[in-house]
Structure 1
Amino acid sequence: MISRKLELLAHPERSTVLVVDDDLLNRSIMVDSLQPHYQVIEAESGEQALLLLHRHKPDLVLLDIVMEGISGVEVCRQIKEDPDEEIATIPVLFVTALDDSRQEQLCWEAGGADFIAKPVNVITLQYRVKAHVTLKRQSDVLRRLANLDGLTGLYNRRYFDEQLQRSVRDQANNQQHWSLIMLDVDHFKNYNDRHGHVIGDECLKEVARLMMSSVRRSQDMVARLGGEEFAILLSGTRLDGAERVARSLLNTIRNTAQLSVDNGKGNELNYPFVTVSMGITEILGNGDLAEEDFLKQADEALYQAKGAGRNRICRYAQGLIEEVGDEPV
């Protein structure tokens, strides 16, 4: 993941620039001058720009201030207020022929990053775009590093909390289904005491790898919450879909050769490999529940799975917690 971002830093020409101007001649000059260096998409109105933004998530926006319909200042304001961090962090460069200090102040207050004067000087345009694209790429890498767990490379607790809050909001506003799986490595303290922290770290990294391989969609998220506790957020997934993912992962971890070591408790569960316990819940509601409520539901299900003997899955549904059957997936 990180190596890919560093590669993009080294090749800013792979970046995407959105050019927004209702004047065809002005738009064509900017597009023609940037196309040899970037992937360029264009919009002739603020309304079209907002649609393209969410579809393509460009690295930079060149935005005319005065347009029919939604003004450039309002487009910029909506970009900066977008709940999606990938949208809100896109730099906006205003392209303007105005010499109006009040208008300039409004652009800064809306979140603009810079100005380019009309008529556009092509050389100035190219250098200024290159500078802001490079800064955007660097900030993307740093932001992603800040969101990652150093040991496993999964997302960390801070980022997980942000995404869980967003998933709860999506469910309430858009009826977007989400499910949450919480996972805990069984008897991990004893495992660490018996085999040492180096082997313990390798165990956690292998569990993380198997969790990542269990989800195949970019919109799903796997995170390490701390210690031996992990979570999976599944987008567009009802409870039965989360159960299938959890069962498959449980069986995979049970039968992974790299984890075939004593669990540190005399292997009293009679399994030759490391095992995990899981609690799952579906994120449902109309905005009346917060992300902490769903986290608590999954945690309560996980606690019951551990209390029932570990190496199993429990689910929280309609206020009840029950064990998920261990039938083949």
Structure 2
Amino acid sequence: MTNKQVSFGNISHRTPIMLIADDQPLVVRQIYEVFQDDFHIFMASDGAQCVEMANELLPDIILLDINMPHLDGFQVCEKIKENVITSHIPVIFITSNIDEADEVKGFEVGGVDFIRKPINPTIMWARVQSHAQIKRQSDLLRRLALIDGLTGVSNRYQFDEQLLTDWLSCAREKNSLALLMIDADNFKQLNDTYGHQAGDKFLKVLAEKVATCAHRPGDLVARYGGEEFACILPNTDLAGALKVAEDIRTLIEQTVVCLETSRDQISAIKTTVSIGLHCLVPDRKDQPDVLIKSADQALYQAKALGKNQICIFEHEHIKQASN
């Protein structure tokens, strides 16, 4: 499988994101010159903007000036750590004057380190890279914990987390986000006929085939529950999502799974999937649940129309895709 939930190389090879929050342009320029080759860098000029950008960008590290207008660095850090979406982001404080009480307060609100002004580029680079590496390792462990043990694709928790991340990203960039809800047809009958071990083998094959079709680094395939899978396709328009859905439907229809049904007999089993699809440009005012609900409605319609087909939720209506 090549998509990101089971291939962890992209975690270390992805260019990380840095958010700098400082109202002094000279300091921002100094930091940018040190890290421009290592990070995608974004800048905030005050505390309130930093909180907003942290929620939108989900950066890998934040360099945060303590003395800023509207909200000071300590208040900003508290808000970042209170939000479950941003709480895991390491925050390094930047300051020209700090005493022991300030240092204690900085660690109490969730900061991981301090960098003093005037900035020493060598020391700053070493400290930032150290915390960035720790976060990369933490992200890897978190992803390992978010894999479905049976099929090897992402589990429901990873799906929920990634959908929110992609929702915010596509809303910010005004790009399309597509979701496929995929359900194995007649799976209960297969389980009842051949047993749960045979059903488990079938689900593994199904997950592998779906992941083969959703193969871009940004795509994510997850086991949503039971015999139902979900596929998140960021930066994908309706035509692109429909092609992925049809590739999945066709591949599963053509797949033969050999199941051991008794000690001396192996049965070749074929089945199909029904797929519900919804594609939209996210609005930050909404929640990604609207995407799930619409794709689910389309899936139910695909089942009702006879299975082994794709239905699309579009403009508050559901239509059948031509196979």
Q: Do they superpose with TM above 0.5?
A: yes
Q: Kindly provide the CA deviation profile for residues 9-58 of structure 1, in whole angstroms up to 9, marking residues without a partner as x.
A: xxxxx999999998999x99xx99xx9xxx86698x866xx8xx99x998
Structure 1 residue 96 displacement after superposition: 4.8
| Structure with bigger RCO (C-alpha 8 Å, 6+ apart) | 2
User: Which sits farther off after the overlay, 149-158 or 109-118?
Assistant: 109-118
**Amino acid in the other structure paired with 2:273:** V
> Does the 8 Å contact 1:19/1:41 carry over to 2?
no
Structure 1 residue 154 displacement after superposition: 1.7
**Amino acid in the other structure paired with 1:279:** G
**Amino acid in the other structure paired with 2:272:** T
When the two structures are superposed, what TM-score results if normalisation uses the length of structure 2? 0.68
Q: In structure 2, what is the Cα distance between the partners aligned to 1:58 and 1:169? A: 12
Structure 1 residue 202 displacement after superposition: 2.1
Structure 1 residue 152 displacement after superposition: 1.8
Structure 1 residue 239 displacement after superposition: 2.3
Count residues in correspondence: 307
Higher radius of gyration, 1 or 2: 1
In the alignment, what sits opposite 1:236? 235
What secondary structure does 1:152 align onto?
Answer: coil
In the alignment, what sits opposite 1:301? 298
In the alignment, what sits opposite 1:275? 272
Aligned pairs for 1:136-215 within 5 A: 136-169=135-168, 174-215=173-214
Structure 1 residue 325 displacement after superposition: 0.6
Structure 1 residue 4 displacement after superposition: 4.5
Structure 1 residue 227 displacement after superposition: 0.9
Q: In structure 2, what is the Cα distance between the partners aligned to 1:123 and 1:174? A: 34
Q: In structure 2, what is the Cα distance between the partners aligned to 1:317 and 1:120? A: 53
Give unmatched runs, 5+ long, in structure 2: 262-267
Structure 1 residue 230 displacement after superposition: 0.5
Q: In structure 2, what is the Cα distance between the partners aligned to 1:58 and 1:320? A: 37
Q: Kindly provide the CA deviation profile for residues 213-269 of structure 1, in whole angstroms up to 9, marking residues without a partner as x.
A: 21232222211101110111211223232211111111111113xx3459x9xxxxx
- Which residue of the other structure, out of 306, 319, 322, is the alignment partner of 1:322? 319
**Amino acid in the other structure paired with 1:217:** R
Residues 1:314 and 1:117: Cα distance change in structure 2 (over 3 Å): closer
In the alignment, what sits opposite 1:291? 288
Give unmatched runs, 5+ long, in structure 1: 9-13, 265-270
What secondary structure does 2:98 align onto?
Answer: coil
Aligned pairs for 1:1-329 within 5 A: 4=8, 89-94=88-93, 96=95, 98-101=97-100, 103-104=102-103, 107-108=106-107, 111-115=110-114, 132=131, 135-169=134-168, 174-256=173-255, 259-260=256-257, 273-283=270-280, 286=283, 290-326=287-323
What secondary structure does 1:150 align onto?
Answer: coil
Q: CA RMSD in A?
A: 5.1
> Does the 8 Å contact 1:17/1:60 carry over to 2?
yes
Q: In structure 1, what is the Cα distance between the partners aligned to 2:156 and 2:76? A: 32
Choose between structure 1 and 2: higher strand proportion: 2
> Does the 8 Å contact 2:249/2:272 carry over to 1?
yes
> Does the 8 Å contact 1:46/1:71 carry over to 2?
no
Residues 1:131 and 1:325: Cα distance change in structure 2 (over 3 Å): closer
**Amino acid in the other structure paired with 1:276:** V
Residues 1:302 and 1:261: Cα distance change in structure 2 (over 3 Å): farther
> Does the 8 Å contact 1:182/1:278 carry over to 2?
yes
> Does the 8 Å contact 2:8/2:140 carry over to 1?
no
> Does the 8 Å contact 2:61/2:132 carry over to 1?
yes
**Amino acid in the other structure paired with 1:280:** L
Structure 1 residue 298 displacement after superposition: 1.4
Q: In structure 2, what is the Cα distance between the partners aligned to 1:228 and 1:303? A: 14
